[in-house]
Amino acid sequence: MCGIVGYVGRRAAPGLLIEGLKRLEYRGYDSAGIAMSNGHGLETRKAKGKISTLESLVNGNPIHGSVGIAHTRWATHGAPNECNAHPHTDCTNTIAVVHNGIIENFGALRTMLQKQGHTFKSETDTEVLAHLIEAALDGDDPLEDAVIDALNLVQGTYGIAVISSRDPDKIVCARKGSPLLIGLGEGEFYVASDVAAILQHTRQVVYLDDGEMGILTPQGYEVLDLNARRIKKGVSRIDWSLDEIEKGGFDHFMLKEIFEQPQTIQNTMRGRLVIEEGFSKLGGLNLSKEDLQSLDQIIITACGTSWHSGLIGELYIEENARIQTETEYASEFRYRNPIVSDKSLCVVISQSGETADTLAAMREAKRRGAKTLGLVNVVGSTIAREDDGGIYLHAGPEIGVASTKAFTSQVIALALFTLKLARLRNMSVVKGREIAEAMLALPDQIQSILDHAGDVEAIADRFKDATNFLYLGRGYNFPVALEGALKLKEISYIHAEGYPAAEMKHGPIALIDEEMPVVFVAPHDAVFEKVVSNIQEVKARGGKVICITSQRESVLEGMIDHEIRVPQTIDMLYPILTVIPLQLLAYYIAVKRGLNVDQPRNLAKSVTVE
C-alpha cells in the first residue's frame, strides 16, 4: 500500500529518503512528503502527485538534517492532496508521523483530542497519531514512552515512524498489521515498509512483528514490545540484487517482469523436481508423509491474481490427488463460519506475503485447527513467518502493480505441491514423470511465445480503442480468462469480463455485436471442441474473435479474426502458456492508450489494509 522510509545516521538524509521513496513509488503515488529533524526543530515538505514533484520542491526549497522520515501515499481517509499527505505533525510542530494502515477508531479519538484543545489540519486518520503522541509526551520522557501510550489507545492497523524535535537523534517505529523492517548499517540505521527502499545501502534487516517497536539512533537500535520490554530479534540477509529492482532496459517494470518468466518459473522449479520418480521435493512444507496422506480437505485462500492461481490449484488437486478443495476469497473467508478441522490444510497465496485479508484468513484457519501452507514470494514476510510451512516462489522482486511473473510462479508452485501430494496418494510414477517432464519444457515454451510478442502488439493496436472485452475459457483455462480480463481492467481501464465459455449464452451473449472483441482461451485440450461451439456462437453475432490456441485447426478457419499460437503441452499446464499472450495484450493496449502501466490509477502493489 503506502510506502515508508526513514534514516538516522551521519549522512545528509534528504537525498537518501527521496531515493528510497522512488523505489517505493509503486506502492502508492497520490502524494508524498518528507520531515527532517535538523537539530533546531522539524522541517517538512509535502506535495500532491509523483515523487518527482516532491523532489523538485525539496531541490527548490532545501531541507536539511541527518534524521528523517518520508512517505508515499495511497489515499484511504481523505482526498489525495498536499494537506492530507504525510508526514503529519502535532499542534506544536515538534512531532512528525508517517503511517501505513487504518486507524479504525480515529473518529472517537479525534473528537476526544479536539475537546482537549487540539487543532486538526487534515482529513486523515493518521493525524490523530501525532496529536495522541503530543498529548502523551511528558517532560523529558523519551519519545518511545509517548508512542507506547498513544498506541495503547489505537484500534486498527499501523506501520508508523515518528520523529520529534524534543528527541532529535531518534526514530521510533512500530507495527501492527502493516509491514515494517529495520535496516542495519555502519553507524546508520533505516526503517522501511519494503526492503526495496533500502537495498542500495544494506542487506541486513530485522523484521518487526505485530506489537513490536523499534528505536533507532546513530549509536544503535533496539526492539521493544508495547510494554517497553526488550525483545531479541534475529537479523535476516536479503539476497535480491539491486539490478533485480531496476528496469534493465525495458520501458516498464511490467514488461520486464513478463519477459523474465522463462527464468522465474525455472527458479521456482529449481531443485524441486525429481524426474525419474515423477515427484517433487518441497522441504519447507513441514508436513509429514502421514499428514499429507490424511488430509480430507484443502482450502485455498487468496485475493486478486493470487485467487485466480488458486482456482487452477483447486483443479490440479482435485483431479490428481482426489482431495476435496475449495478456493475462497480471503476477504470473505474470514467473515463467515467455514468448515475447518485438524484434517484441513489452508493454502494461502500472496506475492507480498503481507496481503491483509489473506493474512487474516490464515490466522482464522489456524485458530480453527487447520495446518497452514504459505505460497509467497517475499522471504521474511509476515505470512512466511506465521505459516506452518511454505513454498517460496523465488520469482524475484515484482515491482509492476499488475502481477505477471508471480502468477505463473504461483501456478508452478501449486503444480509442484500437487505432484507431491498425488504421488503420495494415488498417482503412478508414469503419470508423475509425464507432468514433471512437461514442466521442465515450460521455460523454453514461454520464451517462444515472447519471441513473437510483436504479433500480440499488432492485435493491441487494432483494439486499443475498444470499450469492452469479453474473455472466455473452459476447464483449466477459465481462470486464465479471469486473469486476462483483470489485467486489461487494471492497466488499460477498459471494461472486461472473464467467463466460463459455456456460460456466455446465459447472459453475456447479449453484449456481443460488431464492436465487441471476444478473447477465447482455446488450446487443443480435452474441452477444445466445446469451446469451438462457443466461438461459432460469437461469430454468428458479429463479434471479433481473438483466439489463443495451440495448433492449426481447420475447424477454426473462417471463424477467428486474430490467432495467437502457444506451444503444445499437457492440459493442466496450458494456463502457464496461455496467460502470457494475455499479459502482453493488456500491456500493449495500455501503452498505446498512453497510460502508466506500472502505476495504474487507484491501485497499489500490496494491499495491507482491509
Partners of 549 in the beta sheet?
565
User: Looking at 220-323, which runs of residues are DSSP E strands?
Assistant: 220-225, 230-231, 236-237, 273-274, 279-280, 297-302
Kindly state the helix (H) or strand (E) to which residue 117 belongs, with its residue range.
none
Cell of 448: 517462444
Q: Which three cell numbers stand for residue 528?
A: 477444445
Angle between helices 478-492 and 574-592 (to 10 degrees): 20
Instruction: Report whether 386 contacts 239 (CB < 8 A).
Output: no
The answer to whether residue 289 is catalytic is: no
Residue (of 216, 218, 383) closest to 284 by Cα position: 383
Q: Whole-angstrom Cα distance, residue 580 to residue 452? A: 11
**Cβ atoms within 10 Å of 179's Cβ, excluding its own:** 25
Among candidate residues 22, 50, 405, 605, the one labeled active-site is 605
Could you give the CA distance from residue 163 to residue 150 in angstroms, rounded to a whole number? 14
Nearest to 284 by CA among 275, 272, 296: 272
Q: 380: how many CB neighbours lie within 10 A of its CB?
A: 18
Return the residue matching grid coordinates 499542534: 91
Catalytic, out of 2, 173, 303, 547: 2
Look-up: residue for cell 506475503?
A: 353
Pairing of the two strands 171-176 and 212-217:
antiparallel
For the question of residue 605 being annotated catalytic, the response is yes
Q: Which residue is it, cell 508436513?
A: 287
Q: Kindly state the cell numbers that stand for 412.
A: 508452478
Q: Which residues of 247-259 are buried (b: 16+ CB within 10 A; e: fewer)?
A: eeeeebbbbbbbb
Cα within 13 Å of Cα(120), Cβ side: 23
DSSP label of 249: T
3-state secondary structure of 88: strand
Lookup: cell for 261: 518468466
The catalytic residue positions are 2, 605
